[in-house]
Each structure stands twice: as C-alpha cells, then as structure tokens.
Amino acid sequence: MKYLILLLFTTVLTACAAPKPATPTPIPPTATAVPPSHVTTEARQVTPEPSPTPAICTPLPDGMDFTATLRSDTAVTIEITGLQPNEEIKVIYYLAGINEYHRVEGDAVADANGRYTETETLRLSAKEPNTYQIQVIHSRGVACTEIALSETAVIQPCPDIEPGEMVGTVVEENGRSTYINSVMGIQIEYPASLRLSEPQYENPDSYGIFIDEGRATESPFVMVNWLTGLTADQLETQLQAVIDTYPTIPVERETIAAAGQEAVLLSPLPGTETTSHVYLTANNRIYELIFWTYPLDEAARQFLDDIRFMPPTVGYNCLAWPASAGLPPAPIATPT
C-alpha cells in the first residue's frame, strides 16, 4: 500500500515538473519573385500649366470709346478715348484656339486728353479663325473688343531667316529672272542683267524690294512696295495723299493695265530722277511700284504685265529686322 502511494506521488511530481510545450512561432510567408517584365512604376499624372485667364470685360464708362481697325493682314490699330488724363493702362491681345494660345500684352499711358492709340502686328495662327480679343485694363474696369484678321492670309510657321539671308527666292532661265516673295505675296520677272536687292530694316509704312541696273551704274529701275499700314479699301485715300504732297506739281492720274487688272498711274513725280508711281490692289493690300522713268517706257510696261500676286504664306511679323539706322548692306539676289 505504501509502495502504491509513493508511486502515485512520484508520477504526479514528474508531471508537474515537465516543461510546457513552446508556442509555435509563425512562419512568415515566402516572398514570391516578380519577373522583371512585370515590375511597374508608380503612375504620375502631369497637368499642363493652364493658359492665362483673360480679364473679365466690363461695360464702357460714360464718355469712353474703344475701336480696333485692321490696317493690313496682320496690323491692327486700336484707339481708346475717355480715359483719365495720363492714366496708366495695360493692353492685351490674345488668340485662343485648339491646342494653341497666343498672347501679347504691354503697359501704356494715355495722353493728357485721356486718349491712347497704337498699332500692333499680330501673329497669324495655322488654325481658323484668326480672331483676336483685345482688352484695355484701366482704373475703372476692362474695355474689350475683337477683330478678325484677313481671310487672305494663310500663314505657315515662321521660317528661319538669318540676318543677311534673302527672304525671297530667285531663279534664272533664258536670260530672265523670276523672283517670288511669300511675305509680299508677289512673283515678278525681270531681265537677268538687272540686280535685285532686299532692304532688310523695319519700316513703319512699307516693305519691298529694289531693282537696279547693277553695281557698275547704280541706275535704279523700280522699287516694289507693299504699303503695310493700309488695306485695299484705302486706295483712293492713298492716291489723294500722294497728289496732295506735291501741290505745285501737275500730277496726272491715268488708269492702266498691270498684272492682268486695272492699276492707277500717277506721274510725273519727283525723285533723284522724274518718277512714275503705279498703284494696284491684291490680297486686300495696296502695292506701290515706283519707276525711275517718265513716261513709262517699254521695259516698265513689260514689268507690269509680268507681275503676279498670290496669297502670302509668311507673316510680316516673321521679319524681326532692326530699325533703319546703322544697317548692313542689303542682300543681293543670287539666281539658282
């Protein structure tokens, strides 16, 4: 009996002294390798910077007037009256279109009578329509108007024209040269013995080319100008202005043929020699041809017969030329 009790006591004691089983340690899951071709980077959304927001237009105050007038394919003259004397203003031109935003702005000051006017040459878009919004921000609000540029101007991006490089192209064949200028929108033909040059400087009134008899004689033949500040409907005004400039000269006016259409001849007019001026319109522009001869001789009339006009494809604003002071020599046409 004692032996049985001792055995039972020993068994219980052994059980109490036995160590408790350890808590199982969780096994971390095995990482699954991702083939390199499946590795992705975090996507980033890029938001383009928004175009400047035009100012909000307000009604014109009493006594204020704001107008915009198209002077050429790309030149616009604005005039605003009724501002405060010597008031500081901001002028903004902007063209908003699909995937495109062109904006020109600048500070200005009205005169002592509260009037401000300026002429700005605007860039044409490759997309239609070419309608510019024009705003003048003044002390009492924002004056607004708009103007549509000429439909005749189908303008391409500005080409790279280096200083001293010809704008037009000239080709010589069978003793005749053909010159094409995509800014002026003209094609002319002339004897290959003559020399054509492009004066390359900023002129507020005109842009053109000059043809003379060459370096040996320096005798001028004709100057062909596009009057950049005028439109075709201002032809009569221009003709009268030329006549009024010389009140003591009996200038005669005659309708003649040029480029397959009617033109106006004014002569005689003064110059280094007596000159004859021919005016005609195309592309909603006024073109002026000054011949150093009076009356028109056969060479001049042949030149007028051969001239042709075409829609311009390069904007005048592409020609970033200096003012007329301190100019390098004008580039001379080299036939190809």
For residues 113 and 133, what is the distance between their CA atoms, to the nearest angstrom?
A: 25
Q: In the chain, what's the furthest Cα-to-Cα distance? A: 163
For residues 149 and 125, what is the distance between their CA atoms, to the nearest angstrom?
A: 10
The amino acid present at 198, given as its one-letter code, is E
Residues 207 and 309 in one domain: yes
Model confidence over 239-277: pLDDT tens digits? Answer: 999 999 999 999 999 999 999 999 999 999 998 889 999
Q: What mean pLDDT value characterizes the chain?
A: 78
Residues 130 and 237 in one domain: no
Residues 158/160/163/169 CA torsion (nearest 10 deg): -90
Residues 259 and 310 in one domain: yes
- Read off the tokens for 100: 């495109």
pLDDT of residue 17: 42
Cβ(328)–Cβ(198) under 8 Å? Answer: no
Tell the residue number behind the tokens 């439909």, with chain if given: 151
Q: Is 29 helix (H, G, I), strand (E, B) or coil?
A: coil
Q: Is 270 helix (H, G, I), strand (E, B) or coil?
A: coil
Residues 279 and 192 in one domain: yes
Question: Does 134 score more than 90 pLDDT?
Answer: yes
Pick the last residue of a domain from 86, 115, 148: 148
Model confidence over 176-235: pLDDT tens digits? Answer: 999 999 989 999 999 999 999 988 877 778 899 999 987 555 689 999 999 987 888 899
Q: What is the CATH number of the domain that holds 214?
A: 3.40.1000
Q: Per-residue DSSP letters for 128-189?
A: S--EEEEEEEETTEEEEEEEEPPTT--PPPPP---TT--SSEEEEETTEEEEEETTTTEEEE
Range of the domain at 284: 169-318
Model confidence over 278-322: pLDDT tens digits? Answer: 999 998 899 999 999 999 999 999 999 999 998 888 877 777 666
Count of domains forming the chain: 2
Residues 295 and 218 in one domain: yes
- Read off the tokens for 1: 């009996």
Cβ(195)–Cβ(210) under 8 Å? Answer: no
Q: Is 68 helix (H, G, I), strand (E, B) or coil?
A: strand
pLDDT of residue 125: 63
Residues 202 and 311 in one domain: yes
Q: What is the CATH number of the domain that holds 70?
A: 2.60.40.230
Q: Taking residues 92-104, what's their average pLDDT?
A: 70
Residues 202 and 123 in one domain: no
pLDDT band at residue 334, thresholds of 50, 70 and 90? Answer: low
Residues 182 and 314 in one domain: yes
Residues 131 and 218 in one domain: no
Query: Could you tell me where the DSSP H helices lie in the chain?
Result: 2-17, 235-245, 298-306
